[in-house]
Amino acid sequence: MSIPVVTVGESASECVTGLEQLRGPVTVVRRCEEFTEMIAACQTGIARAAIIAFDAGELTASLLDRLRAADVAVVALADDNDAQERLRALNIRQAGTNVEPAVLAEQVSLAVADLELHRDTGSSSSFAETADSLVPRTPAPAADPESDGDGRVIAIWGPTGAPGRTTLAVNLAAELTATGSRVLLIDADTYGASVAAALGLLDESAAVAQACRFADQGSLDSAMLMRVCSEVLIEGNALNVLTGITRPDRWAEVRPSALSRIIAVARSSADAVVVDCGFGLEADEELSFDTLAPRRNGATLRCLELADEVYAVGAADSIGVPRLVRGLNELAEAVPTAVPRVIFNKVRAASVGRSPERQLREAWERFGPASAISAFLPADFDAADAALLAGSTLCEAAPASPLRQSIASLVDAPVEQRRRGSTGAPNNEMKFSGNGVRLSQ
């Protein structure tokens, strides 16, 4: 079957006669003058592919997402090196403007095949994928060497209610940095970004939004990513920080497709990439009529999908625990590939009752989801406050504190092993109240 194609831009339009003379593989259904006209045509469903002259308008990752969401594959025509470089970074199939019609038709059918392959292998249950960001996670045609990094991505997530996601993200990143690893900390929270404040960075630049813009334009590479990062010294080692949005209403700037690219580049620039995620997982914006509207939770969902490890943090009290139970169920539905490490934070007898860890374990075994509890982090208000006050990490502001030590031991030792051998366990001296934790809702 002939592939219906739209074109935009002069050099694309000049290819039309040659393509029509082939009488077969592709049929040009519309020649568009402008990008907006081309997008509108694609959204009506008349085309399966678009041939775009590179200089016809601004080709960005978000635009590609919109076309992919409309099930339209893209081939771009470009001659100069810079343009070709950008197209490679955006993973777009390309050809020169003087390309033979048969070769161009072949590129079009390969681009359509790429898109179908992506649709078949992509996670259809992924809420992040639903509309604004169908980014290839299968190797794209012109694979970018920077996507091949093997840095591990650790997403820190937890339900609403400030369970301690940022505290864990910042301090886990700091502990990894202190061990000599190259670490990049990304604030991807689209509701309440606070990594910059936690680290005392006077950052007004919303580095994550800047990086997203570069990623969108196909110009983000390792050097560029490092340039927009702030550097924080942890025991003499540099922790690179991609600060978050400065106001919650800027959430739409943290686009999932751009985040995919940032994470790919980050993997090749760092040994560990720690991401502070937002809490929301629900995709009820899907009820919106505008299926191409950006989705606020898309950034969190995308990070969770791409992460090698997911830490799910919950507050250890009678509000936090049921929220974590519900949140983990939502997580299993939204990102079935995620295998979370469950972390209880702010563990204290005053909010749970006698022997808080034992009570939490017992309650979890009876009512909790399948994932076992991986670790308990003590309520340690002195240390947490000292770090916030100093705009610093626990390893700098409260190195001997129980909270710091618990987070440090998450980094390299399996939690169960570490707990048995640990000294000075923070909860030993808790006074028990006798009230059991309630998991039922």
Ligand X SMILES: Nc1ncnc2c1ncn2[C@@H]1O[C@H](COP(=O)(O)OP(=O)(O)OP(=O)(O)O)[C@@H](O)[C@H]1O
- Which residues are near ligand X by CB under 6 A? 158, 162-167, 189, 192, 194, 345-346, 377, 379-381, 384, 388, 403
- Cα–Cα distance between 258 and 300 in angstroms, integer? 13
Smallest distance from ligand X to CB 327, Å = 12
Q: Could you give the 3-state DSSP secondary structure of residue 52?
A: strand
The binder of 131, among Mg ion, ligand X, none, by C-beta within 5 to 8 A per type, is: none
Size of the residue set binding Mg ion (CB under 5 A) = 3
Smallest distance from ligand X to CB 164, Å = 4
Smallest distance from Mg ion to CB 276, Å = 6
Q: Is residue 300 near Mg ion by the rule CB under 5 A?
A: no
In the bound state with ligand X, the residue whose beta carbon lies nearer, of 126 and 427, is 427
Cβ-proximal residues to 131 (8 Å cutoff; 6+ apart), any chain: 69, 286, 291, 292, 293, 295
In the bound state with ligand X, the residue whose beta carbon lies nearer, of 77 and 394, is 394
Smallest distance from ligand X to CB 315, Å = 8
In the bound state with ligand X, the residue whose beta carbon lies nearer, of 229 and 403, is 403
Positive or negative: CA dihedral 62, 65, 69, 74: positive
Q: Could you give the 3-state DSSP secondary structure of residue 360?
A: helix
In the bound state with ligand X, the residue whose beta carbon lies nearer, of 302 and 346, is 346
> Nearest residue to Mg ion, using CB?
166
Smallest distance from ligand X to CB 428, Å = 16
Q: Is 435 exposed, middle or buried (0-12, 13-18, 19+ CB in 10 A)?
A: middle
The b/e string for 363-397 (b: 16+ C-beta within 10 A; e otherwise) is bbeeebbebebbbbbbbbeebbebbeeebbbbbbb
The binder of 167, among ligand X, Mg ion, none, by C-beta within 5 to 8 A per type, is: ligand X
* Residue 435 DSSP label: P
The one-letter amino acid code at 311 reads Y
In the bound state with ligand X, the residue whose beta carbon lies nearer, of 311 and 364, is 311
Instruction: Please state, as a whole number, how many other Cβ atoms lie within 10 Å of the Cβ of residue 400.
Output: 9
**Which one of 53-61, 88-96, 194-202, 391-399 is the stretch in contact with Mg ion (CB under 5 A)?**
194-202
Tokens representing 376 are: 């308990």
Q: Which of 7, 126, 166, 345 binds Mg ion (CB under 5 A)?
A: 166
In the bound state with ligand X, the residue whose beta carbon lies nearer, of 39 and 331, is 331
Q: Which positions touch Mg ion (CB under 5 A)?
A: 165-166, 194
